[in-house]
Structure 1
């Protein structure tokens, strides 16, 4: 097995070696030796290029002079300057420039020395390189052809910033332009592929983790079967864990569903037996009433559990239709207020905007009714549950506030979990079964919304719901 450490180590080694080989090839191809010889090699190369250009130009100049075409000679020299990026001067026997123009510094002395030695001479100045070539015609006329070209200085500081930048650009353009770009692209490509190879499975693992945290236990981390490193092992172990978790969750839901279904029949028979017992044993009415109360509570709990199990699973018959949210809430508020009047409580509407959302009216009714009835359970006698619905930019905001004891801060998120109970006042004696808010949360989440609870400083609890217009 090739571990992740080995892959990183070997990859960096191979990229470094490959980059070194490319650098060596560039150095050999450009004739760039050690640092101390770089400048001298460049200067000799420039001198040789300039002398070759002067030799070819000198032969043509001699022929033009012998044919007596001075105007053609001047035109030819100007053409050479344009095509070869060098400056050309033709000095007569009195050292006057035939084509006119100012000679480079030291060119006159170099021309005299070349005439005396009857040989090619060159001189390397700070900014340019000049060379002088003696010419002799058939009539015995002696002339000096002087050429000048800019000196390339890759590691010397120029007098001005612009000149320094230009020299560096010229150096890289002529010596390292295309090879340097190729080397950079190869190094970048190698590192990019390495980084992508290492991070792609981690991104897939993170994506699967997020899906599971959102309730999709069928999510799995994707990875290549050819990978045999630690990341592949981690992805495999994660998939095994996710599969076992999904199996446990499904078994738990199936158990709750099956038990709830199995309990419904005995409860129905028990209710029938209660009615028969009332007819025969009237003196046992208080005990029978207690049994009936507990039976109704148990029946309600079973119904709620079955609804919750349905919402937590895959709903194939989900109806997505326009729902008038304000109208639906008014119906729920009217029913809840009528029932709460007997207990000295009431439900008040604070603000109602006309809002239409898309979704399942049955599920939304169940969710909102559970939240409102939850508030009625805990609001104190003589107080009201206040409800408002406000139209936002992209969603509807529903606020339900009661005037009860509130919820400890550490339990605000847990009250939406199935069968969770807060101690003391929010307990079993209040009439709740610990499933209503869980059903509300699942229904809201199925519609792409959100639900949260927070305490009020003056006392009471606020449940805030956000529902998008298009779920």
Structure 2
């Protein structure tokens, strides 16, 4: 049974067989006259008791014959009429379950067959040599499901068919639900997500699960190779960069006077050092070794320190950093990563805020976490490129990138650092101008 089509076919076929069988069984139990004699048989009994009455000239032989037909059987034959003498000699056993009201109903009803108080009945008129208004009535108790109320039979039928349908739906949808959960985990960054499937055989869903696992393994290997390349390059560049810094310091000591070439070289070395540091941080976050040193962090104090440091850089470019007086909060997180995220957001805002501009930093608490907002006075970003703002090495627009010295890693580190804490980050253009970067962090740290 390796094909999904074959499974569907067999399940539906089995369901059809069960439904058909249930219909046959229910019809057998619910058919109103299935346990009663046929009309011809009942008329034959009526003719026989009519002849007995004519030959014997009394009711005794008639009652005895009806008792013999009803002995040790669920099927009973009773004789009812307007003349009480005709039924007075009837044994109690033959009239059990028939009240006086039931007898009157059987005599007065226009239906010659039907159901009455849990009994199926069928009647014919008996001719006793001119004595009219006599009925021979065959009675049989309702058995099986037919004895249940209609609403209860409907509930049973719904429960049985619903159980079959539920089993079928659960059986067919279980592997799809597993595949969906694995896809969601992979999309959220869990590169180890796999679908439990058999290595060979199975139906189309099992084959799809194997294809998904192969894709996930390929993605994991590619991402791991990329991160390993970033780490290796960064470490390899660190050593010659350190030697350049030492050589630059020695050259400065040996050179008399002011040297613009040495100053430019020092600036380039510092930028390369920052780039390598960012590459190492990004590679560490991409590898999943993110928020590892969790501790209680005073967010008010941390934001104050970062804003104070950023103010020195702002003064050099002729702009200003304004920090609102937000709430004093303790947050569980990695202090180094949180500081790196705040510094990169502020450094990005400083890079694109013109002289005389203002950068506003604000934060507020919601039910489960805290929102941090940084607003610059720069040119903003085109709407279609806002989602690319947090991707590494992405160059957006000439207005924001010209002479900025940016390599496109700062906001990528921000997103990875915030996600490592179980938070989220987004950016949008403000109607009055400027870009707002806003991220949310849970107060209790990432969920385990």
TM class by smaller structure: 0.7 to 0.9
C-alpha deviation, 1:24, in angstroms? 2.6
C-alpha deviation, 1:30, in angstroms? 2.6
C-alpha deviation, 1:31, in angstroms? 7.7
Aligned residue in 2 for 1:314: 288
Partner secondary structure for residue 322 of structure 1: strand
> For residues 250 and 466 of structure 1, what CA distance do their matches in structure 2 show?
28
Counterpart among 292, 302, 312 of residue 338 in structure 1: 312
Shift of the 106–9 alpha-carbon distance from structure 1 to 2, 3 Å rule, reads closer
Aligned residue in 2 for 1:189: 163
Query: TM-score, normalising length from structure 1?
Result: 0.73
Counterpart among 226, 234, 240 of residue 214 in structure 2: 240
Shift of the 45–179 alpha-carbon distance from structure 1 to 2, 3 Å rule, reads farther
Shift of the 466–132 alpha-carbon distance from structure 1 to 2, 3 Å rule, reads same
Matches within 5 A, 1:275-424: 275-282=249-256, 285-315=259-289, 318-424=292-398
Retained in 2: the 8 A contact 1:88–1:148?
no
> For residues 167 and 11 of structure 2, what CA distance do their matches in structure 1 show?
10
- Give CA-to-partner distance per residue, 1:5-48, whole Å, 9 cap, x none: 22212221122123223333444x4384xxxxxx6657758999
Aligned residue in 2 for 1:93: none
Retained in 2: the 8 A contact 1:329–1:368?
yes
Shift of the 173–62 alpha-carbon distance from structure 1 to 2, 3 Å rule, reads closer
C-alpha deviation, 1:416, in angstroms? 0.8
Aligned residue in 2 for 1:19: 19
Retained in 1: the 8 A contact 2:35–2:140?
no
Retained in 1: the 8 A contact 2:29–2:146?
no
CA RMSD of aligned residues (A): 4.3
> For residues 236 and 102 of structure 1, what CA distance do their matches in structure 2 show?
74
- Give CA-to-partner distance per residue, 1:245-301, whole Å, 9 cap, x none: 100100100010011001000111112222333344558932232222222111110
Partner secondary structure for residue 30 of structure 1: helix
Retained in 1: the 8 A contact 2:199–2:210?
no
Retained in 2: the 8 A contact 1:406–1:455?
yes
C-alpha deviation, 1:133, in angstroms? 12
Aligned residue in 1 for 2:65: none
Aligned residue in 1 for 2:10: 10
> For residues 383 and 175 of structure 1, what CA distance do their matches in structure 2 show?
82
Which shifted more, 453-462 or 291-300?
A: 291-300
> For residues 107 and 165 of structure 2, what CA distance do their matches in structure 1 show?
53
Retained in 2: the 8 A contact 1:388–1:398?
yes
Aligned residue in 1 for 2:414: 440
> For residues 431 and 31 of structure 1, what CA distance do their matches in structure 2 show?
87
Shift of the 188–438 alpha-carbon distance from structure 1 to 2, 3 Å rule, reads same
Partner secondary structure for residue 413 of structure 1: helix
Where structure 2 has 5 or more consecutive residues not aligned to the other structure, the ranges are 43-69, 80-84, 127-132
Aligned residue in 2 for 1:52: 76
Partner secondary structure for residue 259 of structure 2: helix
> For residues 281 and 386 of structure 1, what CA distance do their matches in structure 2 show?
44
Which shifted more, 324-333 or 423-432?
A: 423-432
Shift of the 455–172 alpha-carbon distance from structure 1 to 2, 3 Å rule, reads farther
Where structure 1 has 5 or more consecutive residues not aligned to the other structure, the ranges are 33-38, 65-75, 90-100, 111-121, 135-143, 153-169
| 1:30 is aligned to 2:18 | no
> For residues 231 and 240 of structure 2, what CA distance do their matches in structure 1 show?
15
> For residues 125 and 15 of structure 1, what CA distance do their matches in structure 2 show?
35
Matches within 5 A, 1:109-188: 124=112, 172-174=146-148, 184-188=158-162
| 1:427 is aligned to 2:401 | yes
Retained in 2: the 8 A contact 1:127–1:151?
no
Shift of the 174–447 alpha-carbon distance from structure 1 to 2, 3 Å rule, reads closer
Aligned residue in 2 for 1:214: 188
> For residues 149 and 264 of structure 1, what CA distance do their matches in structure 2 show?
106
> For residues 266 and 355 of structure 2, what CA distance do their matches in structure 1 show?
26
Q: How many residues align?
A: 402
Aligned residue in 2 for 1:87: 99
- Give CA-to-partner distance per residue, 1:136-163, whole Å, 9 cap, x none: xxxxxxxx999999999xxxxxxxxxxx
> For residues 323 and 284 of structure 1, what CA distance do their matches in structure 2 show?
44
Aligned residue in 1 for 2:173: 199
